[in-house]
C-alpha cells in the first residue's frame, strides 16, 4: 500500500479485534500503520482461518441496548468514535433478539477488506517472536489470550516473572447492591484488622447443615466445562475448582473456603453457622465483591442457579461468573500507565484481552483507545483518556487502576479479566435517583432500572463531550457513520 503521510508508521502486533480496531483508528487519524499478523504463516489452536478479526467462539456481541445495559453503552460509544469493528458488525448483523450477533465470515471478511483497502494500512503476514525492535518507536501489542510462546516469553523477560498469567482462576463477582444484607453481615474472620482493613472487610453468607448439604449435592451434580485439548489441565491444590473440592469429600469445603470459624452472625449471634461463604471487596468503588475461593469450571447457567442457593445470594446479580482456563494477560495495573503504555518502555502499548479485559467488544474497545492514544502521540497532540463515567473510561480504569491493593501484592489482589459491567462505573451523584411522579412504591428493581438508565445517559453524554461531538438529538441517522467509514 502507498502510505501518503509524513508520519512514520506505527506497528501493531496482532490482527484480532483489538489490533484491527487500533489499526483503523490510527489510519483514520492520518498516521500510517503496519499490522503484523502471524496467521497465514503460522496458525493457532483456536483460529480456523487467516482472516483478520476472526471470531473464535460465539458470534454474539451481546446486548445492543444502550439505554440500560453496560455492553450496549460500549457499543454506542464505539460507534460514536468511528469503530470499524462496530460498523462491520452492524453491516453483517443476523437476527438475535436484543443482542447484536453477526455472520462471522461476513464480519471478518469485511474487516479484512477494509484494512487492506485503506491507503495508510499495510498488512504483513509474519510472526513477531520478540518485543518490537527499538526502531519501531511506537508500537502496540494486541496478541490476544493465545499469544505465541516466543512473544509471551519476551514479554515476561521485559516485565518480570510474575507479570504474566497463563491460566486464569476466576471466582464469581457479585454486584454489592444485589446481596441481601438482611441475611448477610460484614465481618473479617476473628475480627482481624488487616492492612487498610477495619475488621469488617468481608460479607458473610451463613448456611445451616441442611443448606450446606444441598449446596454440596448441587455442586457435585453440576454441569462442568471440560478443558480444551490445547489448554491442558492446570489444576493445583492452591486453586482447585470448588466442585472438585466437593467431590474429594463432603466436608472438604467446610474446612476450606467455607469454614465458619471466627465468625459470628450479626443477625443471630447465638446460632453458629454450619458453613459460611465469604465475599471480599473487589474494586475500589466498593460496588463489586468476589466469592472467596470459588473458582469453578461449572457452566455459566449452572453457576448462577447453584450459587443463588446460598442464603443472601438468592437474588445475586453477577458481574462475571467463575472460570479456570488458558488466558495470557499481563498485570496491567502495575505495568501500564493510563494511556496503556508500558511503564518500562516508552512508546510500547498493549491492547485487547492481553491487558485484562474479556469479550469481543471490550477487546476491540481497548484497541480503539490504544490506537487513538498512539496516533495522538505520533502527531504530538495531548492525550486525553475518556472520563471514568463512560463505558470506555470505566473499562480503562479497570485495566490501569481502581483495584484493591496491598503492600505484599500491589495491584494484584483483585485484578482479573472482566467484561464491561455497571460495577466498574462510578456511582451517580447523591440525589440522582428520584421517585417518578404518581408512583407510590419505588424501590428494589425499579430503582435499579432507573440507576442503570441514568448511568447509560451520563456515559453517552460524557463520551460525546470527550469526542468533541454535539449533544445527541432525539434521532440519529442510521447511515451517519457510513458516510465516513466506507465499509462494504
Q: Are 245 and 253 in contact (CB under 8 A)?
A: yes
Q: Cell 453477526 identifies what position? A: 102
Largest CA distance in the chain: 78
DSSP assignment of 189-222 = GGG---TT--S--EEEEEE-HHHHHHHHHHHHHS
- Is there a binding annotation on residue 14? yes
Phi, psi angle pair for 337, to nearest 5°: -90, -175
Angstrom CA distances, 421 to 45, 246, 327, 393, stand at 29, 30, 20, 12
DSSP for 435-486, please give it.
PPTT-S---THHHHHHHHHHHHHHHHHHHHHHHTPPPPPS---TTTTHHHH-
**Grid cell 463432603 — which residue?**
250
Residue spans of beta strands (DSSP E) within 294-441: 318-320, 323-330, 348-350
Q: DSSP code of 403?
A: B
Pairwise CA distance, residues 313 & 183, whole Å: 9
CA distance 184 to 21: 44
- Assess contact for 168 and 320: CB atoms under 8 A: no
312 is in an annotated binding site: no
Question: H helices of 238-390, where?
Answer: 242-247, 300-307, 332-335, 360-378
Helix ranges restricted to H, 222-335: 242-247, 300-307, 332-335
Annotated binding-site residue? 19: yes
Contact between 416 and 322 (Cβ < 8 Å)? no
- Give the strands of the sheet with 93-94, arranged side by side: 60-63, 99-102, 93-94
Exposed, middle or buried, 7 (CB in 10 Å: 0-12/13-18/19+)? middle
Cell numbers 447492591 label which residue?
177
Residue with cell 461449572: 298
Judge whether 18 is annotated as a binding position: yes
Confirm if 31 and 378 have CB atoms less than 8 A apart: yes
Positive or negative torsion for Cα 382, 383, 388, 389: positive
Phi then psi for 251, rounded to 5 degrees?
-95, 0
Residues annotated in a binding site for FAD: 14-19
Amino acid at each position: 500500500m502507498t502510505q501518503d503521510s509524513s508520519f512514520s508508521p506505527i506497528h501493531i502486533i496482532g490482527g484480532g479485534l483489538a489490533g484491527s480496531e487500533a489499526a483503523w483508528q490510527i489510519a483514520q487519524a492520518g498516521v500510517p500503520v503496519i499490522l503484523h499478523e502471524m496467521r497465514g504463516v503460522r496458525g493457532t489452536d483456536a483460529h480456523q482461518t487467516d482472516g483478520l478479526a476472526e471470531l473464535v467462539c460465539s458470534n454474539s456481541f451481546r446486548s445492543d441496548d444502550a439505554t440500560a445495559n453496560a455492553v450496549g453503552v460500549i457499543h454506542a460509544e464505539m460507534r460514536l468514535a468511528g469503530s470499524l469493528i462496530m460498523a462491520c458488525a452492524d453491516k453483517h448483523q443476523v437476527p438475535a433478539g436484543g443482542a447484536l450477533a453477526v455472520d462471522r465470515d461476513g464480519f471478518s471478511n469485511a474487516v479484512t477488506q477494509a484494512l487492506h483497502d485503506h491507503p495508510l494500512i499495510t498488512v504483513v503476514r509474519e510472526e513477531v517472536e520478540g518485543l518490537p525492535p527499538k526502531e519501531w518507536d511506537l508500537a502496540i501489542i494486541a496478541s490476544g489470550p493465545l499469544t505465541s510462546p516466543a512473544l509471551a516469553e519476551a514479554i515476561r523477560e521485559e516485565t518480570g516473572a510474575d507479570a504474566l498469567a497463563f491460566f486464569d482462576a476466576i471466582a464469581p463477582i457479585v454486584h454489592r447492591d444485589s446481596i441481601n444484607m438482611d441475611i448477610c453481615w460484614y465481618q473479617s474472620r476473628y475480627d482481624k484488622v488487616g492492612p487498610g482493613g477495619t475488621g469488617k472487610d468481608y460479607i458473610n453468607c451463613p448456611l445451616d447443615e441442611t443448606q450446606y448439604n444441598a449446596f454440596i449435592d448441587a455442586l457435585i451434580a453440576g454441569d462442568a466445562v471440560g478443558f480444551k485439548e490445547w489448554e491442558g489441565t492446570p489444576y493445583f491444590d492452591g486453586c482447585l475448582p470448588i466442585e472438585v473440592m466437593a467431590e474429594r469429600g463432603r466436608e472438604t469445603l467446610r474446612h476450606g473456603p467455607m469454614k465458619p470459624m471466627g465468625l459470628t452472625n450479626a443477625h443471630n449471634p447465638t446460632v453458629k453457622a454450619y458453613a459460611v461463604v465469604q465475599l471480599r471487596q473487589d474494586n475500589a468503588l466498593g460496588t463489586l465483591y468476589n466469592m472467596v475461593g470459588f473458582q469453578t469450571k461449572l457452566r455459566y447457567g449452572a453457576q448462577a442457579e447453584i450459587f443463588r442457593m446460598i442464603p443472601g445470594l438468592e437474588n445475586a446479580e453477577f458481574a462475571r461468573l467463575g472460570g479456570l482456563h488458558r488466558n495470557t494477560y499481563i498485570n496491567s495495573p502495575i505495568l501500564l500507565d493510563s494511556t496503556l503504555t508500558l511503564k518500562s518502555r516508552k512508546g510500547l502499548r498493549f491492547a485487547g484481552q492481553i491487558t485484562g479485559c474479556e469479550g469481543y467488544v471490550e477487546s476491540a474497545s481497548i484497541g480503539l483507545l490504544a490506537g487513538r492514544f498512539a496516533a495522538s502521540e505520533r502527531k504530538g497532540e495531548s492525550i486525553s483518556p475518556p472520563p471514568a463515567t463512560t463505558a470506555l473510561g470505566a473499562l480503562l480504569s479497570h485495566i490501569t487502576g481502581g483495584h484493591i491493593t496491598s503492600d505484599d501484592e500491589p495491584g494484584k489482589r483483585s485484578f482479573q479479566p472482566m467484561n464491561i459491567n455497571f460495577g466498574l462505573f462510578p456511582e451517580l451523584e447523591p440525589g440522582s435517583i428520584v421517585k417518578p411522579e404518581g408512583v407510590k412504591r419505588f424501590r428494589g428493581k425499579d430503582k435499579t432500572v432507573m440507576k442503570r438508565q441514568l448511568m447509560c445517559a451520563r456515559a453517552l453524554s460524557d463520551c460525546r463531550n470527550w469526542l468533541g461531538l454535539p449533544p445527541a438529538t432525539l434521532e440519529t441517522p442510521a447511515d451517519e457513520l457510513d458516510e465516513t467509514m466506507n465499509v462494504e
